[in-house]
Structure 1
């Protein structure tokens, strides 16, 4: 932010068209380098997928020790969901790498987990609260089980 931005006196001053065009070009270049909402969603998904994978893995281990009649069916369904999670994780990692976006875990507060996002030369801090993570994980697991259910219904 320059000294003139936010200063009301300069709003009425005349600006040469070359300067306006130059400024607009700089803003376009800057917005091309900043992370988009689609990319933010991809980063969020990439953060959540390992948690989902861990949860599914724990459920599968619990199922292995159960005496449920449909144990084998549940294990197959869980493994199919886990494969889907791993495939999506690799796809997201590849896509973010192509877009020159990297992320690192930064710090963890009581309720918020922070990550550093490096996007085309810019650095940004991204935080997720526990409640948001729980909700997103629940929605994602519901989506995966619904997809699996629809595949089973068609066969």
Structure 2
């Protein structure tokens, strides 16, 4: 028998409301450890961006050996897209690190490529087929090219405006 057994004050537990709220936020919210759709998109981009980087670098090398008269334009445009890809890779790596998400290994099973990742203490797998990867890379590269075209149009408008 402890000293507190006979003491009636210890039979009821008193908690402050703010402590109860903190406890409920930490322990009862099931979504706190489950990955969000935004985080899944970040993982997908983290996986795809290195492939896109290699593709654009290969395109730059191919353009350098080309006899096309516009090869300099192609190289400059490709370099600008490559720069944007690198910035996005850096941004996504930093964001995943802040959210405590680590992407580890790649393994292939049948036609699906799986990546293991740890998200706030839970281990899961993220899988994509090669066809899905190709389609997503195509969509992403189209976005980068559209952004480059928009920048060129803006620059063109600025150049053609009369100076005061």
Q: TM-score range by the shorter chain?
A: 0.7 to 0.9
* Superimposed CA distance per residue, residues 56-111 of structure 1 (whole angstroms, 9 cap, x where no aligned partner): 11111110000111110110000000000000000000000000000012311341
In the alignment, the residues of structure 1 paired with residue 76 and residue 25 of structure 2 have an alpha-carbon distance, to the nearest angstrom, of 55
In the alignment, the residues of structure 2 paired with residue 86 and residue 24 of structure 1 have an alpha-carbon distance, to the nearest angstrom, of 37
Deviation at 1:117, TM superposition (A): 1.1
Match of 1:31 in 2: 31
Match of 1:79 in 2: 79
Residues 17-56 of structure 1 aligned to structure 2 (within 5 Å): 26-28=27-29, 30-56=30-56
Match of 1:112 in 2: 112
Match of 2:134 in 1: 134
Whichever of the two has the greater Rg, that structure is: 2
Deviation at 1:34, TM superposition (A): 1.4
In the alignment, the residues of structure 2 paired with residue 130 and residue 150 of structure 1 have an alpha-carbon distance, to the nearest angstrom, of 30
Which ranges of structure 2 fall in alignment gaps of 5 or more residues?
1-22, 156-164
In the alignment, the residues of structure 2 paired with residue 110 and residue 62 of structure 1 have an alpha-carbon distance, to the nearest angstrom, of 32
Which ranges of structure 1 fall in alignment gaps of 5 or more residues?
1-21
In the alignment, the residues of structure 2 paired with residue 24 and residue 76 of structure 1 have an alpha-carbon distance, to the nearest angstrom, of 51
> What is the DSSP-based 3-state SS (H/G/I as helix, E as strand, rest coil) of the residue aligned with 1:128?
strand
> What is the DSSP-based 3-state SS (H/G/I as helix, E as strand, rest coil) of the residue aligned with 1:69?
coil
TM-score, with length taken from structure 1: 0.81
Aligned residues: 133
Provide the aligned C-alpha RMSD in A: 1.8
In the alignment, the residues of structure 2 paired with residue 74 and residue 127 of structure 1 have an alpha-carbon distance, to the nearest angstrom, of 34
Query: Taking CA–CA contacts closer than 8 Å with sequence separation of 6 or more, which of the two structures ends up with the larger relative contact order?
Result: 1
